[in-house]
Amino acid sequence: MSTSTTTTATSAPEPWQNIAQRKQAQRASLIPEAWRIPEAKLREYTASPTANVLHVPSDCGILSSLDRQITESYDAIDLLALLAKGPDAGGFTSVEVVTAFCKRAAIAQQVTNCVTEILFESAIARAEELDRQRAANPSAALPPLWGLPISLKDCFKVPGVDASIAMIHFAEKPSTEYSALPQLLLSLGAVFHCKTNVPQTMMTADSDSNVFGRTMNPNNRALTAGGSSGGEGALVAMRGSILGVGSDIAGSIRIPSHCNGTYGFKPSANIVPYAGQANPAADGLAGILPVAGPLATSFRSCRYFMQLVMSSQPWKYDMDCLHIPWLGLKPPAGRNLRIGVINDDGLFTPTPPQKRTLEEAKAKLKAAGVELVDVQLPNLMEDVAVAWACFGMEASRTALGYLAAAGEPKIKSVENIGLTGGTGMTIEDLFAWNVARSKVEAKHRDLWVSSNVDAYINLLVPHTAPRIDTWTTVVQALWNLIDYPSCIIPTGKVSEVDVVDPNGAKFGDADRALYEQYTGPEDFKGAPTSIQVIGLRQEDENLSIVAEMIDKILNP
């Protein structure tokens, strides 16, 4: 373990720039020479400020035809079926699959800066061992994730590598054990091939830090890749991983899914193991509970992830997990779906591409026989204020202490978000916050019951991925506050028809300022659009059924 960041009363911390330089150099050294894009080509791919680099893995000449087939033709479920077949029956070895995704992740890293810790060598070694074990005992049953490479957000601990969570203070301090969820996934046969980038403090929607730099959106490099699971979002969009794991306390799975065009599932609290992660906040901090969940290239992969985790007695890995098993529920029989539509949140007007995608989704659902009912959220501004107050509970004193100990400055998005000031809460303030939260929960319970719906759909936020360091929207945190599971379904991209409407904003000055950040389809070319599907607290399996039905209608 390095002691380079240790301080004493008589010595100053090592300059943070030195530590960052070592971390980035170490990461670069772990990409094999044969997997590196030539400098001239790399400059060409990234020359335009709005460059779309999704094509680079296919075009750069590093991947073989088999690599491309493995990484481009299947989702996680298809690939698991082919892994189970094995090469003698027309499938693949684990080494073939893991190597292909390691290569593609290396390419994705070079054009988006999405990876923090490279685990290629250990991943291929594990794949080789899995293949050897299978060859020695070919009749043995395989665990459900056998041989599948899965990426992890940087906050998940893996022995031997850092969980630096984008803070110099935690760099060069390798973990000695697995977090709870990786431990569970390993028991199911998974292989971890990399960890992915997050923002400093993990509380902004721009995955940028002094340790590893900024993750770029592969659809349009001028736009944010989101956060705090921004590295996961970019990597999955590039298909350097087809199933990854993020976390969410205010949108951190859903924002990157929306920004990058992937699927993402935010579970209810204490459904998926969360314990043992690196944390920039005080241990034991009360309030909204963070959750872990999947990002993937298909919704059914997200659903399968949830099924496996909930079927694996997750409380054995994280004592806080609820004893809510996967029940094998079926879609509603003998009736059509009834979906509540939140057309806008009453605070911000959907920008043209978002407005269009919601209208198109409604039309497709209606044509498929889905019953749609309008739902209006009550007093959203008050509810979001309750959520926001939680994030200032300790006035970021713990995170600020880590920054100060390492002598590193705050990045721009941390400055912009405004969570590092204030005085925090007293114990009386906490009591009052708990009362306020309970009132919000009761109000939304009553709204759900009176609406009598299978799920809600809405826009996660009123805009597509915005320009770098300009994300200010917090309405998505409502669903964390009341602990409703929710997921992102991609619906398309910004289109030429999404022209600016100079008179579109309808909710006042703050709405107008946000609305006018959308400057037309040319500037936002390639930006993904999506809808959010929302379920009732602790009914994650029900939500997965309804969302999969919706996805099949919207993306047949």
Which residues are known binding-site members for substrate? 202, 228, 249-252
Is 362 part of the annotated catalytic residue set? no
247: DSSP letter? E
Is 153 part of the annotated catalytic residue set? yes
Give the count of beta carbons closer than 10 Å to the beta carbon of residue 152.
Answer: 31
13: DSSP letter? P
Give me the torsion for CA of 305, 311, 315, 320, rounded to 10°: 50
Q: Which of 204, 148, 163, 202 is nearest to 23 (CA)?
A: 163
Give the count of beta carbons closer than 10 Å to the beta carbon of residue 7.
Answer: 13
Q: Position 299: which residue type? A: F
Q: Which of 291, 227, 197 is nearest to 486 (CA)?
A: 291
Active-site annotation holder among 252, 268, 413, 544: 252
Each residue of 96-107: b (16+ CB within 10 Å) or e?
bbbbbbbbbbbb
Give the count of beta carbons closer than 10 Å to the beta carbon of residue 347.
Answer: 17
Give residue for tokens 């034991």: 284
Binding-site residues sit at: 202, 228, 249-252
Give the span between the Cα atoms of 121 and 158, in whole angstroms.
Answer: 14
Active-site annotation holder among 151, 175, 209, 228: 228
Active-site annotation holder among 103, 153, 195, 493: 153
Is 228 part of the annotated catalytic residue set? yes
Contact 253, 264 (CB under 8 A): yes
Total count of residues recorded for the chain:
556
Each residue of 396-406: b (16+ CB within 10 Å) or e?
bebbbebbeeb
| Residue 462 Rama label (left phi>0; alpha psi -120 to 50; beta) | alpha
Give the span between the Cα atoms of 239 and 223, in whole angstroms.
Answer: 19
Cis link prior to 151 (omega < 30° from 0)?
Answer: no
Active site residues: 153, 228, 252
